[in-house]
Amino acid sequence: KRAPAATMVLLARRWLGALALGAALASGALVSDDVMDDEDVMTVLMPGDFKELNKAAGRHLTEAWEAFQLAQGATFSDEVEVHLHSCKTGRMSGDVCKNRLLNAEEQSGEEGKSEGLVPFIEDFFAGVKAERHVSSLGGTEEGDAAANLHDDIFAGALGAPLAQEHFAALPAPGRDDKLAIGGLGDFASAALVDGKEAAAPTHALAVALNEDMQSGALATAGALPLEQAANWTSWALESEVKMRKFRWLFVGGRDHDQWAMMSWALDKNDTLRERAKYNGSVFAEFREWFEAGGGKLSFLAPDHDGDDAVKRPVGLRATEDIMEQDVVLKVPMKLALAQPTLRNVMSDDRNTRLHNIFTEDFRRNEEWGLAYFLAHEHGRGESSPWWPFLRVLHMTTMRSRVMTELKDTFVTRLMRDMDDEIALMQRALDKFKGCSHARNHVCEHVREHAALRWALSVVRRYAVRVKKKTTGKEFLALVPFVHLLPHREGAGGSITLHMDNSLQFTAGEAYEAGSGVFIDRGNFSDAEQLLRFHRVQPETNEHNGVRMVLPGATLEVEHLMWFPDKTRSARWRRMLRLPPKLSTLWQGASKLMIFGDGTDDEEEESFTKVTKEQEKMIDLALEVGAAATRAEAALILTGEEPDEFGSLPAQEIYTALEPEKEGDDIWQGRSELANGFFQLQDAVAAGSVDKSAQRVINQTREFYLEGRMPLRGMDAVDKVMKRRQILLSYCGNATSHIIGERNISTNLMCSLRTHIMNETDVDVLCPAGKPPFADMHCCKDSEPLFEWSPGQCSGETNSIFNYSQPVSRDNEQRVLESLLDSVKLMYALLPGGEAADDKRLLEDRLAADGRETTYASALRYRYREKRLLENTVARIEQRLASLDALEYQVDGVRAIRDREEAEKEQRRARVEAIRNTTVALPVVANLSVNLDGTNVQYLVVREGEAIDDKAALFARKHGIDAAGVATLKEKLLDKAKAVVEGVMLFALPVVDGIGRRRMLIVRDGDDVRETVEDFCIKYNISTYVDDDNEARDFAAMIMAKAEEKHNATVKREVLVQLPVILVDGRSVTLTVREGEQHDLYGVVRSFAEAYGVDLGMIDSIVNAVNDRLPPAVHFQRLTGDAGRIFNLRITSREPREIEATIASFAELYGYPLDIVPRVRQQVMGALHPDADTAPAKPLPELGG
């Protein structure tokens, strides 16, 4: 069943929170100077204005509340009245006032409550004007939140997409049909209960679970007492709100509340509006400072729109015709704010220069670094050398009527992101500058939210990229007068830092005298243009798009986060309707001391006793982040393993502690357990077929109903989610998850596919690895790049997962249907009707105003977003119709796996065959002997067995005379000689796994790889199928060494070939190649070992080879590694030929070639003992 759109809006708003939405709607953005006097924008000159606004917000709140109460005829509770008075008199700021009122209302008894106060305050800060409350807030159309909360949770509302935040609508994985958002269908269950399939529908199972819970172990122990079952839902809400308050970067609601209130106060504050008016003297001081510092405008002048006295500059205009590439602005580097100018400024305490304070911030995030620098200098006031420049850098906000038109658009999401980013900037200051506990000069100037909000807005509006003339590298800078250049896509223009340390602006196009000059500040979407410049270009924007938010996606600034994301995985599990984290349940149970207070020594030892080897694994796990604490790592290594159906170990439980006050640890633990139970219900109702979900559902059920202790470490779902996160790392960060003008980004499709992927597909694309820590092998080579770096494959193309290809037909269909639901819901939430209606409204507005205004740009933006979403719907529907024509990577990977498995079976069969055939040595000669006409005996000679010995033994056994022995030998030799033995190229000595020395023989014509594999299989070095890393690496080393030696050997010239008759009768050939003549004993010794030749024959074989080699005129003695002695055989007196011989030797035995001339001179000296030998020089080129 699918909930109606109106219900979805209410659900989304409830969980997003009207307060946070109001902050997004009311957040300000930079506006280009040419619209600062627009009636749709409000100028905020300096961060200090925020303090006045915050106090004014408290007054406006109380005035609005009094009007509402008088219209309702209601009275105030005493405590609420006290706080209202403090707010009204400005003794409390708006955000404090709001919190005090809500707390007072919560503490009031039922009789003392002021009806409608809470929804009034929430809606007030959501951006709804007070007049609306007087007429419409007699009650709430949503009904009582507490009464409906259980139904909302049970129906998956906590997992429903937050449409206003552009969250994707994700279905639960592993289901045959997609999740109906906000509703619950009756789906057949595949969940396991006690290892058996449940026959009842999943909805009925969830209801039954609710009934069982009332008599379960946790209810009996008082953790979730039955008599307070009506409060379970409110307890669950407290835990959920806490999780949402932390969100991904631990940001509470205060900053959002403050900004929302100040934005509303801004609309009502006459003093600030008066202060925001243009002050010509301030701009004159800025220009005087600019020119005194060496700045120069060429062919340019500020454009005051006809009245220098009362109108602020709207840009720069050309005073003469300007040609493309003309330099029209020159600014000394010292006048700009940028990383290079940090070194020019001492800190206020005179202890150091600013580049020692902020350089690392620039490296982490250049915009942040520049914003810190800017806020610091502004905080110094008139003592800053840039003070005249700072006074003309303005930030403005859009008025409420514009923001009303932008409600629920992607613009509001970007506004919210900016406030989140400022909070993260504050966290960075606390971490890297110690601002949370050390109030130094830097923190005083930079730490405040208002200062950072102003500074980051100014940077994003005015900063430009500067290129160094010397290196071509770029940096971000705030440059005087360049800040007045309006942005226009395609206008070009560049700013370069020259050798004279000046910044020069070069025009990107030609301008006529009197016309405005522009600069292209980069590629921005429509939403970014509207936020930065309060204008949306009339032309179609190729860079336009909206971003889809997914819970598992990494953020653009993720690398700056120094703390773990404690909520992302929990939110992800919730949205996919998976069971709660067992570790979270264990934490909740620990707060209630259900399993005791941790003083049971025997129990504690069972979790901490580890071996020395496990200690090493624990240290390694902590180093690579596989576990957060030593206790967690030890638990993963030594904790009890659940049985095949996922049952947890039995454990004695105690009566739960009672909370002493609201908000204490016991209160929070109870809230976590209540929230976990409702999530368990939702997971049961979702009916996932994933084995990990079934396993954790059973374990969670046993915890609640039977009191079995949950796992403290990663549960089965965690491990699958961890593998999903590895796959997500290939999908880019959240900023690349875009629905664009022409397509849906590949990264967004990748992220959606991974989020929705069922466990079966995850197992195919990122198989589970070896426990306890390396629990994923997502690489084609089946092993990660490093043993404890799961997912880091050696090379970009070594991942099994292809981020750009559909996963499976079912997955692709669910992805497209979910995306279609999300896009349609986003469209339905936008105000103003259909896109065509917005287009007509925009045309009427432009006709009425006669010019482009901020309001018109807002309408244009909303029309374009609707048109973009309409086109996206059409693209999705078209792709849905072509699913059968797509290629799916799961099918391809499975086909490869099947093929690989078939190949493995063939290799196993080969291994068995080779080992069976090598039990006995190969037969050289086989002779049948008829002894007396009826008694036939067989004489067999195998490799390495002497024919003489075998014949003599056979003769003695069967009484054969000497003549018969001679006949036997003759016939055996004839058969042995018929055996064709390839010429040996080389032999490598290898010690096998049981310590025996073996000879790897490679003959002429052999397939080297096959020969090496047969050798390794024969001697149990490797099977090439089921090896461990060590065996596989050793076999690969032998293969590489053999191939290298083979390639080098066949290139060398053959000098001598000597036939040798072995004792078994075979005739083999000893080959000596160029370079080997210098180590004849080594060559012959290797040959003898390979063929089993008696070592006493080596001298005679060496002499026979010597006789066949050209006569030597000299032997040059050389010492090699480990004291090995070589006698270089020199057969020529010609220097060039001598040098060639020496070079061949050096290459073969690994000597550096630079010894060749020196040894050549030594040889020549020996050949001419009566002559003095000069130092070695290179031989001249032939013909030289």
508-515: Cβ within 8 A, 24+ apart: 508/324, 509/324, 510/321, 510/322, 510/323, 510/324, 511/318, 511/321, 511/322, 512/318, 512/321, 513/318, 513/319, 513/320, 513/321, 514/317, 514/318, 514/319, 515/317, 515/318
Token readout for 106 is 């919560």
**Separation CA 353–CA 348 (nearest Å):** 9
Question: What DSSP letter does each residue of 2-37 carry, written as one string?
Answer: ---HHHHHHHHHHHH-HHHHHHHHH------GGGTT
| Amino acid type, 760 | T
21 to 44, 258, 568: CA distances (angstroms):
22, 13, 20
Q: What is the pLDDT of residues 482-517, one digit of tens each?
A: 999 999 989 999 999 999 999 999 999 999 999 999
How confident is the prediction for the chain on average, in pLDDT? 76
Token readout for 379 is 């905080």
| Contact residues for 1147 (Cβ-Cβ < 8 A; gap 6+) | 1048, 1075, 1153
Query: Confidence band (pLDDT; 50, 70, 90) for 367?
Result: very high
Give the CB-side neighbour count of residue 81, counting CA atoms within 13 A.
7
Phi, psi at residue 126, to the nearest 5°?
A: -85, 0
Bridge partners (DSSP) of residue 988 are 1000
Helix axes 355-364, 410-432, angle to 10 degrees: 140
Q: What is the pLDDT of residues 991-1013, one digit of tens each?
A: 999 999 999 999 999 999 999 99
- Measure the CA angle with vertex 288, ends 284 and 290; round to 5°: 115
% of the chain surpassing 90 pLDDT: 29
Least confident residue range of 79-93, 535-549, 693-707, 1122-1136: 79-93
Q: What is the pTM of this model?
A: 0.68
End-to-end alpha-carbon separation of the chain, Å? 94
| Contact residues for 113 (Cβ-Cβ < 8 A; gap 6+) | 77, 105
Query: Confidence band (pLDDT; 50, 70, 90) for 260?
Result: very low
Q: Which helix (H) or strand (E) holds 999?
A: strand 997-1003
Annotate 69-86 with b (16+ C-beta within 10 A) or e (fewer).
Answer: beebeeebbebbeebbeb
Q: Residue 479: how many CB atoms within 10 A of its CB?
A: 23
- Domains contained in the chain, CATH given: 278-543 (3.90.1410.10), 732-890 (3.90.1420.10), 1114-1167 (no CATH)
Instruction: Evaluate whether 32 touches 535 at the Cβ level (below 8 Å).
Output: yes
**Separation CA 281–CA 395 (nearest Å):** 19
Q: What is the pLDDT of residues 298-322, one digit of tens each?
A: 999 998 765 565 677 888 999 999 9
Between strands 464-468 and 494-497, the pairing is parallel
**In which residue are the tokens 């407290």 written?**
238
Between 224 and 117, name the one with better pLDDT.
224
Provide the sign of the torsion angle of the four alpha carbons 35, 38, 41, 44, taken in this order: positive
Phi, psi at residue 864, to the nearest 5°?
A: -65, -40
Between strands 1054-1061 and 327-332, the pairing is unpaired
Query: Is residue 637 predicted with pLDDT exceeding 70?
Result: no
Annotate 522-547 with b (16+ C-beta within 10 A) or e (fewer).
Answer: eebbbbbbbbbbbbbbeeebeebbbb
**Separation CA 973–CA 941 (nearest Å):** 10
Between 1131 and 629, name the one with better pLDDT.
1131
**Separation CA 841–CA 850 (nearest Å):** 14
658 to 177, 224, 667, 746: CA distances (angstroms):
43, 11, 8, 52
Per the omega criterion (within 30 degrees of 0), is the bond before 772 cis? yes
Q: Residue 401: how many CB atoms within 10 A of its CB?
A: 13
Q: What is the pLDDT of residues 1048-1104, one digit of tens each?
A: 999 999 999 999 999 889 899 999 999 999 999 999 999 999 998 888 899 999 999
Q: Is 832 strand, coil or helix?
A: coil
Query: Is residue 248 predicted with pLDDT exceeding 80?
Result: no
| Amino acid type, 205 | L
pLDDT reported for residue 943: 87
| Amino acid type, 378 | H
Instruction: Evaluate whether 1062 touches 1093 at the Cβ level (below 8 Å).
Output: yes
